[in-house]
Amino acid sequence: MEIPIPVKVQGEHSTSGINEKPFVIPSLREWFGYEGKFKLTNQSRIVVDEKSASSLMKSAKIFQSDIEKIALIKPKVLIGKPKKGDIFLTLNGNLDELGNEGYLLTIQDFVMINAAQYKGAFWGTRTILQLLENDKSHSFLPKGITRDYPKYEVRGFVIDLGRKYFTLDFIRDYVKLMSYYKMGDFQLHLSDNAFARHFDNDWDKTYSGFRLENETFPNLPTPGEYYSKKDFIDLQILAENYGITIIPEIDVPAHSLAFTKAFPQIASAAYGKDHLDINNPETYTIIEKVFKEYLEGDNPVFRGKEIHIGTDEYNKKEAESFRKFTDHFIKYVQTFGKEVRVWGALTHADGVTPVTNKGVTMNAWYNGYADPIKMKALGYPLISTPDGWLYIVPAAGYYYDYLNLKKIYENWEPVNIGKITFKMGDPFIRGGMFAVWNDVAKNGITAQDVTDRVFPALQVLSEKMWSGKDESVPFTVFSAKAKMINEDPSINLRGKIESENKLVLNYKLDGKDKSLKVNSNASFKKQENRKVLNFENKQSITNLPVNEIGYNYTVCFKINPSQNNTANSVLFKSNHAVVKLKQGSTSNIGFSHEGKDYDFGVSIPENQWTAVAISGDNNSTSLYLNGKLAKKLSRQRVATGNKTDSIYVMKTLFFPLKSIGDGENSFVGKMKDLKVFNHILSETQILGIKEED
């Protein structure tokens, strides 16, 4: 028997109306379709209700920018009353009916988003953007009315920053990506460490990370791999504008090697240096000071109302001490007016020492560590984060490399925690979160590889956490339609280049390509019956109109390198990667990204033309020379030096296309016939590419 859910407002319509319910992610909870379409034109405006202007103007400006990117129309933003063709934003909604995140969207002669709170209005703008994206002309919206609201309060994603550093720009882009799918909680796991067994069982060699500036203990943050406090505050403000709540997590007392490297005296002698010595009073003093720096003052570094303090996987022999530590830091963080989230582990650490539950929410990830039924009985609200369903651990060989999306779509929603299913509407189930854990540090997984795993999961889990299970839409239908919805309009994390054809870029490099920008050290030189791009020295560069292309792709070009090109001479470059004519001190073509170098093991002949093709998918990168496969780099199991231990090392590449050369250490020589396909070509197809006259 399900727990009854009170319905405050009855629906007005018994049918879905004339226009069928449009497809967006997450799906609209209620829809009644009118007849006809609304058209966005150059005369359309974004009008903000005067009573709501102080709250909604930021939302309107973001919305304006996003519409311009999708529809190539930049509506004026103004305060006033709407006319035909306008989009009207107001906060005149009923809070009891809509809650903090619900909204009424009416599409008639003008479009109206009516919400009770900022977040609901912002979610309404995301729905309109997806509707515009789905329309081939990016101009029309189906007329109708929807009341849309989430089934679960917490709909989130956890990213492990402790074992893999991601740039602040990447995190900011993820805020926008999550917002586009109405995923409201973004948990940043700011501290952690890799496994010692992957580093010769030597804690001093084992990778660890602490990602936030700390003035009290300047030696705590990982050098070169942390965020300033100002940048972190700005990130949270950005997130608030996009309807996202940042949940910062500092993980103690296990997963704490970053702390013990900075303070060796608080490392556990019994359980390993990734464990804090929780029986040492100095441990309490240091950890309190770390939290205090981020929580104190009128403008604290941690802006939100909830803070995650970790508390997981400590050795169970210290159950009572662990419980004491957990209770202490819950109460300590609460003295700053915050609520607390924990991983808990109170079944694993069974004991008699009380751990407060007031103002505490538990991520229920593994029932053996925190039995969800017992945790509910103890009074802890739960966030369903089950490892057997929702844990991505890239290229680790355990958990999921890619989530089983069909299984999740058909069988999971947040009331499911492991093998336990709570009654629908149970007030102790706040919602759900999925996670990426970068357990295997330094294994070649890039930020782009993480996104390749996260994006399809985000689409499915957004649906499951907002709307729940919908058997009327089979997974095959959902999956096919989901391919039509991309990322937030201002980002392209997956490196997609859209085109009606598989050939997405085609440059003869003969000087007639208007979209290319060539600097003074490059020219177009006559070669036989045509001109080719000539790089005269290392300062040569040609800028291309895109940054990169993601999986799956094939990039083809012909190159004639001069003699004596220098080490690391650049063929192509992006914000994320470099393809090199000579990788390091070798003469071999290769590529580099995120501090790692990859070598194809073959060189490009000097003073002669060679047809080069490079293709890449999420598991491999292949090099073809003159139409024949020369080398395929695939994920490889590599011994770590510790007995029989090994890890998978990835050798993938988002192909860089921001520039040919880099203007500093560019290759010297000639290039022609650059072709980029958003498709992996076969060897036969590559061999069949003819030179253009």
The residues annotated as belonging to the active site are 313
Q: What is the largest CA-CA distance in the chain?
A: 87
How many Cα atoms occupy the beta-carbon half-sphere of 312 within 13 Å?
23
Start-to-end Cα distance in the chain = 73
String of DSSP letters for 3-24: PP----S--S-SS-BSSPPPP-
Report CA-CA distances (Å) from 566 to 2, 518, 613, 673: 70, 21, 22, 24
SS3 199: helix
Residue 439 and residue 198 in contact, taking contact as beta carbons nearer than 8 Å: no
How many Cα atoms occupy the beta-carbon half-sphere of 438 within 13 Å?
30
d(CA 232, CA 579): 32
**C-alpha 311 chain-centroid distance:** 25
Written as six digits, the tokens of 385 are 């984060």
How many Cα atoms occupy the beta-carbon half-sphere of 116 within 13 Å?
13
d(CA 157, CA 178): 8
String of DSSP letters for 541-583: -EE-S-SEE-SSEEEEEEEEEPTTPPTT-EEEE-SSEEEESS-
Residue 421 and residue 372 in contact, taking contact as beta carbons nearer than 8 Å: no
Report CA-CA distances (Å) from 427 to 94, 96, 422, 431, 565: 22, 17, 10, 10, 67
Written as six digits, the tokens of 247 are 């949940």
d(CA 233, CA 228): 9
Written as six digits, the tokens of 309 are 């303090």
CB 603: neighbour CB atoms within 10 A? 16
String of DSSP letters for 272-315: EEEEE-TT-HHHHHHHHHHHHHHH-SSS-SS-SSEEEEE-----
Q: What are phi and psi of 140, to 5 degrees?
A: -110, 145
Written as six digits, the tokens of 681 are 């070509």
